[in-house]
Structure 1
């Protein structure tokens, strides 16, 4: 079995799994100085875009293609390549299709999609000028495209809105919801979908604290919230997107309104994947490999589900005990260190809350 992986940045997360499966790995990357280029069996440096990976896939006669892309801009090109390669050459591409990417890469289209399928989302309006504002403060101002908190502002007054429009001509204006932030991964392939346990990412703040700076925990335990509702809603969204790969969804739970709100959905690997793996034992990136080699199964995932308490803590630079090899595997460790130097995080797990507290104390 030979697989083509697109992008090297995330490859060290699954290199141990690929080797364990006896898979021959081919990787394409546009940056010849990128990390992890020493790990795959073969590496091809190609121009940006998807034509290079497509040509390598055909030249190497690979069995499937697994894009490992964690940013939004290339996803639509991947989606178009997927449709072409699958239709013309019969090579599976484990990624979302064009429709799913178009609906999820633009926050306005995502809002309209939620309304079409009957999923609650915070009240919103499209602003072309501050004078059009009808919602009460505070509100959240966003651009249609962007990730990681980019171009998002919490406005508490009309002056804040005016300031935002000094830089932008239009905004998605959303009612600020005070409550709990939740993420969940859904895996989808060939019409099968499974929602993994939800992750708690902290409470909303008017300061707009970035998720990377918050302590997160799994599984999600928020008073008044039924995790089954989160999983059911996430499953409904994924099923209506009707595509393959990883779906990462952000929700907000308002205790005041006793309401779960859908915020956004991403069709790519995401930042909470380590916590999800620590909590339930299912590694979403490894499941992309399983999809590619024909070993993805809902019943198999159900049989492999584990139950742990987990947490993810931003630490800057990690100086604790050395993890076992492979260092990115929870099968070999009860903690994983990830992220670039200066912005590292530790994700740890244990079978009890008390055990988790002791482990975190040891690691810190």
Structure 2
């Protein structure tokens, strides 16, 4: 279905208006949102996304509506997973709680810009190259496999990622915050503050996220309007959602397994579609392959089913509770190891004490399982490094 230009124009104006409203009424004045504020605005943004989906269903038909909801749910799940990385980045930079809203809003805006570029690039590839669906399918299957791979010891995205190392090498930077300013003057020179560096880090990771996100939604629909709106509305309200569930993020310990299944499923769907539409000469002599194609209704049911099972398993599983505790320790240890952005020594000590308190909670679990999961996640390596750093600091 071709969407009229005026519908595109109204949609873009509404999205820009929501972003502007978010900035001027919520983010411009630094503050930490209350739980009630985060809950109310999260519900409003989800409600707007669902209302838009209903309008798409009514005016565009059931097929178009199902494609929107399938894309929105998939992108929303991927966005929540992205919050884990944002949490690590802001912990490692010790971003003041009241200033985290500005960082998150920047991340949302940058993600929307980056993904819009990828959306139109993906559409051009689909229309130009017959092998694009094969490529997208393989990308998703490989990504699904990578989500299941255990992390290497100490491996994490944070204050020392590649983009930040480049920024520090070629630009003048400081390790000290100056409110929420992006630049400040130090020793008579204009320098970048950590606030700008953390935005660069989140912007860089947003580009990587888009490489997985866009092929996933193109596996559900090739309608560029649906792809754009589902992606945009999945990002709307992500800032409020962060403050609503940041204490629960570690609880969703099985989310990556659910996302792996979803991405693998969509990857297979893309490969099947590519075979059905095949015209590559080295596959079946350039003829279409008569394979089963997964309908959007089945795709929507599978995605919802996997997410429901994943969330329920995360909440009620005893192993999930242990992984939650270990994830918390991992994050606190990482924040302590990267203490260069903590301006006050008391902040470092407070972070270390929180890590010790979190370690103490592990005594109620099976210790063999604790040791196994600590080693597997890389938390043991980080905690040991944090203890050694604290011992060195105490001796000095």
Normalised by the length of structure 2, the TM-score is: 0.25
Higher helix share: 2
Q: Which one has the largest radius of gyration? A: 2
Higher normalized strand content (fraction of residues): 1
Higher relative contact order (CA 8 A, sep 6+): 2
